[in-house]
Chains A and B, each alone.
Chain A
Amino acid sequence: MAEHVILVAGPMGAGKTTAIQSLSEVPVVSTEAANTEIDRVNKATTTVALDYGEISLDDTDKIRLYGVPGQRRFDFMWRILEKRAVGLIVLVNNDTEQPLEEVTYFMNQFASIHQRGGLVVGVTRSDLKAEPGIGDYLMHIEENGETHGMPIFTVDPRNRDHMVMMLFSLLTNIQSRAGATDNVCLSQG
């Protein structure tokens, strides 16, 4: 069985834990702690180590999904979890302070995954704040040196169909980029 490790990254409150809960076919392993920064991000709990879920592609292929903590102070977990990943989903909540900068920040932090695999961006909570739009994200990402025509979606992490669409777009992105180089297998595990 081939196993592909995909990370879900992004700022606190973007919906990473919810996205993994929507996608996973097994009970999600969560490491939630009470949020003492409630004045900054209004949610009761926050991920402090990882979220873990699984989804089968077919009889032989499985995706292992890891959500990383959003806060910078947990970046040691980012370095641990990125090692085996072949793909990255960056989720950003459109109502956060600097959503464009957050996307490129997380893209840069996980540049090694992007180089060897693929990346897709999901914009959440755009129903609460419409701007910036997808075009603004594309322009900002392009200004920061990305030229691959990266897939960007507006998504609701609670909606499994949205998340499946984004995941499969990521897998296609990984395969097309691998095919463009040496047709390597998705799996690193």
Chain B
Amino acid sequence: MYAYHKDKKLKDRCAAELKGLSTRCKSMKIGAIVTSDGFVVSTHGDLQDDGNRLGSMTSSMQALAEAVHDELDLGENKHLAFAADKGNIVMQKIGKYPLVMTATFDDRETLGHAIFSMSATVDAVCGQLKKTRAKI
């Protein structure tokens, strides 16, 4: 398995894509791209412990969501969204790669727009991944 979280170029490119998302989407507070087993590739925003905790939690949540999808035979997971009093969290798999993007948005953002904005960034990250040795 390709060690995405150890690829310096990829980390920088992913960080740039997250920064781009925060520029387009002012309500974005925190963004992270993590491996499906919870290692942080890149983060953006003010995160404790370099985002390691968020990375692990994202990995667990994504896997639990996929388990529920499997149980109910709903097909492939597209994204996972949580709405809270102070904002929204969206998690989305990055194409077929074993990577997940997670981002929090404050309450100025509608959930729909947050998902729309994230999807565009996920597509861009997929483009960056094609430039690496990573295999799907």
Contact = CB atoms under 8 A, between A and B. Distances in A.
Contacts, number: 69
A33 B56 contact: no
A30 interface: yes
A48 interface: yes
A29 B71 contact: yes
Interface in B71-85: 71
A186 to B, nearest CB: 27
A187 interface: no
A176 B76 CA distance: 47
A25 to B, nearest CB: 17
A131 interface: no
B36 A34 contact: yes
B60 A73 contact: no
B60 A31 contact: yes
Contacts of B47: none
From DSSP, what is the main secondary structure of chain A's interface residues? Answer: mixed
A33 B59 contact: yes
Contacts of B38: 33, 48, 71, 73-74
Given A33-B59, A49-B60, A74-B56, A44 B66 contact: no
Contact of A35 (B37, B63, B64, B67): B37
A74 B35 CA distance: 14
B13 interface: no
B11 to A, nearest CB: 13
A25 B57 CA distance: 29
A48 B4 contact: no
Interface of A: 29-39, 44, 46, 48-50, 69, 71, 73-74, 76-77
